[in-house]
Structure 1
């Protein structure tokens, strides 16, 4: 509205000026090249305006003619770009749908239409991955690394390809290169896992702290990883540097209260150096909230010079800290059995085999062992063995389908940090025969060899 107001004012002023100019008397005389031209002022002004208009028109025509080829080619480029973007869209949809033929065709056409478009190389790489051509996908990802705007994407793709062909060094190289550019979560995790897999725990801890500083990892996860790394360092230094190992294990327990591997490591160091009271106190504190067979085992062996009855009495104290936990009752039954106190051994397992309960394989095997030690081979022994073969399995350390006798800081199959969990093995997992906790019904009669640390998951034979 304001613009229209000023425009009307300007138009009125111009009209008034033209009218004033026409009303003025006088003439304009021009002598040029022997010619004498005389005209009135209004006519002269009109002629000047016409000349200016003609000049502007001619200039516009010349400019349009000069720009015409560029406009024609620009329109062609726009149409080419629009078609290329449409092909890219169709190709990415085909990749998502798993249509190999359509994805490869779209990738080839996109390379012709939009060779410099970053998404083109991504489509080429994904189409190659979908069709199982790692060389073509690696080539496409390498092209991405040559441009600053797509370098990180290219490094991520090369890292994935290296992981697929199980080239750990190359995968680490690409992850480290990406981490040097930007603190990305995937790159930090990859670098951390590689350092952990090689056992370089000091550098692994440094890499973790860098990720935390860059806020590429949340604090709860960082605390769990710190505890795992410190426990692994403590286990590695347990023999030669016990003081460092004890400090690291206690620090891991502070970060992750109730973390059994750290507690067991600290207790072992304390027992080995004669501080059994501190070890017992530490185990009791952790066992009350996180009962575990490893804790019960190190607790039972804390005082090697005591008698079997004294050991059983001490383990009974541990059971009172977690009365419902099977781990403590198993340890008490084993200690009582070692002292041939069959009544106490049976009493320890009584709540686990009460009516309505489903005793685990370990409980059944302990009952079979008690019957065998007290009465010799008999019907009850065979009955408990039969029940043990069908009983629910006992918890174990499990990571990515692998069951381990002992806790490990990383998964042996994927290299994932903090992968092992204490839980009941799935039906597809292979049986584990851990020290003192056999899952094989005949294990207590014929103890298995302790050569293999890990057992991969496998489908058990049908009963």
Structure 2
């Protein structure tokens, strides 16, 4: 574009100059070799311009002839290079599509047309073609050869890392990842793999040093780095809590500052502060996280802040937590447990009933069973609460990659991933509860022990073997819903309960029903389930 404009400007200037000469006539006298030549000024100007143009054309012709061999060679070289790049592009597309044969042919063709020293992608295409052909050894050799080229070193490390991971050689994969992370800390795969290697060894300081070496860009990357650092600090604090409480305190508080809603960080910080007799500060840390995320571990550390406290003091601290997070099932459960330890059964029962209304689950009914046993000792009602606990939604736990743990851990024991544990109800338990709710018949609650004074002693005495087996084990539903809902009974007891009733058993029960009414302590069968004496569940033994 600029060249065309330049030519136009030159032509315009020439025309302007000739027009200027035409308006001013003149004559040019030239004496050469004794001869005198007289020409007009316009003729002389045209001759000069023509001479300059002729010289330029002649120079172009001479130069073209002189450089023609080089021009012809360059033409064929460029054409050959273009064909090579076309083959390389086709080969890369074939490798991405999974066509190993075409990738291999295009790799060989590109290697003939382009020098591998000029285009390193040929090595990558060779390695990809070898992988598609199943020649893993050749692919590893290609990746290893890339390590000698500074431009291809990271690519070679990446290939060797993936191959080591595929073969299950974790140590070799970790070695390649660490080398790549040292050369380029911004590589996500290298930094993550090296970080997992450090955490697997328990080298929390090395992992944090590796994490600090990166410079994340963007809000999301910075948040991820902050979360990981908080997890590493929490893990370090847990490891050194017994040996160095002061260092654990500093690490726990820093982790809590990075993630104020992270329960394990607040728990370890609170424990370290309580060991250093900083009760006020430790309580504030736990209270702050309790307001955001009520968690039983937070409550346990908060209530047992001072080992010498009485049960009444612990109950007072539990009520303090409840006031910070009202209308919460976990708050009511904490008060219920503390009240049970303090012997205030009425308060414990009220708190447990509140928790049952807010969020019924397994722990609520188990606590109710403990209260019933401690207050009344009524085994029938205790078993009733235990039966409800069997079919109630299960309690949340720390879950990572399908692994359920009662305690938090910094890495997953399955995959080694950092910050994998989450506090939630396990998925398999949720599925079991959903499946178990269909066609579920609540088990009847048997009577208390036979030696207790009851109105139906004669009726129970007629079946001593069955009652003895029942007294030893809790009842089971007709259809076992899940593996967790089945109580661990011995094989003999299960056989006794699940054994079909003989044909004459109904007549015996019909005859004995009027003589032996249910015991007052027996909760019996629910009214909507019991229609008459002949339709009772097989678990009702009296």
With structure 2 as the length reference, what TM-score do the two structures score?
0.63
Q: Which residue of 2 aligns with 1:164?
A: 166
CA distances 1:241-262 after superposition (whole Å, capped 9, x unpaired):
1111112212222222232212
Q: What are the ranges of 5 or more consecutive residues in structure 1 without an aligned counterpart?
A: 14-18, 28-48, 432-438, 447-463
Write out aligned runs for 1:18-33 (5 A). none
- Equivalent residue of 1:288, what SS? helix
Q: Which residue of 2 aligns with 1:89?
A: 89
TM superposition outliers: structure 1 runs of 4+ over 6 Å: 9-13, 19-25, 49-59, 213-217, 428-431, 442-446
Inter-partner Cα distance in structure 1 for 2:19 and 2:34: 25
Q: Which residue of 1 aligns with 2:9?
A: 2
Q: Which residue of 2 aligns with 1:427?
A: 428
Write out aligned runs for 1:42-53 (5 A). none
Q: CA RMSD in A?
A: 4.3
Q: Which residue of 2 aligns with 1:70?
A: 73
Inter-partner Cα distance in structure 1 for 2:334 and 2:488: 15
Assess, with a 3 A threshold, how the Cα gap between structure 1 residues 236 and 131 changes in structure 2: closer, same or farther. farther
Assess, with a 3 A threshold, how the Cα gap between structure 1 residues 21 and 125 changes in structure 2: closer, same or farther. farther
What is the aligned counterpart of 2:272 among 263, 269, 272? 269
- Equivalent residue of 1:328, what SS? helix
Inter-partner Cα distance in structure 2 for 1:98 and 1:376: 70
Query: Highest CA radius of gyration, 1 or 2?
Result: 2
Is the CA contact 1:172–1:191 (under 8 Å) kept in the aligned structure 2? Answer: yes
Q: Which residue of 2 aligns with 1:122?
A: 124
What is the aligned counterpart of 1:142 among 141, 144, 159? 144
Q: How many residues align?
A: 411
CA distances 1:383-403 after superposition (whole Å, capped 9, x unpaired):
544444443333222223332
CA distances 1:39-80 after superposition (whole Å, capped 9, x unpaired):
xxxxxxxxxx9999999868855653x448735xx52x4444
Inter-partner Cα distance in structure 2 for 1:340 and 1:444: 31
Shift of 1:143: 3.0
Inter-partner Cα distance in structure 2 for 1:381 and 1:56: 110
Write out aligned runs for 1:57-456 (5 A). 61=65, 63-64=67-68, 66-67=69-70, 70-71=73-74, 75=76, 77-114=77-114, 116=116, 117-130=119-132, 133-186=135-188, 187-212=190-215, 218-276=221-279, 278-354=281-357, 359-373=360-374, 374-378=376-380, 380-427=381-428
Is the CA contact 2:216–2:222 (under 8 Å) kept in the aligned structure 1? Answer: no
Inter-partner Cα distance in structure 2 for 1:282 and 1:183: 35
Inter-partner Cα distance in structure 2 for 1:284 and 1:54: 94
Shift of 1:23: 9.6
CA distances 1:304-326 after superposition (whole Å, capped 9, x unpaired):
33444443343122122112333
Shift of 1:6: 4.5
Shift of 1:96: 3.6
With structure 1 as the length reference, what TM-score do the two structures score?
0.72
Is the CA contact 2:228–2:418 (under 8 Å) kept in the aligned structure 1? Answer: yes
Is the CA contact 1:185–1:216 (under 8 Å) kept in the aligned structure 2? Answer: no
Inter-partner Cα distance in structure 2 for 1:270 and 1:320: 23
CA distances 1:65-108 after superposition (whole Å, capped 9, x unpaired):
x448735xx52x44443333333333333344444554455445
Assess, with a 3 A threshold, how the Cα gap between structure 1 residues 270 and 108 changes in structure 2: closer, same or farther. same
Shift of 1:294: 0.8
- Equivalent residue of 2:213, what SS? helix
Q: What are the ranges of 5 or more consecutive residues in structure 2 without an aligned counterpart?
A: 1-7, 21-26, 36-52, 433-482, 491-542
Is the CA contact 2:394–2:430 (under 8 Å) kept in the aligned structure 1? Answer: no
Is the CA contact 2:186–2:215 (under 8 Å) kept in the aligned structure 1? Answer: no
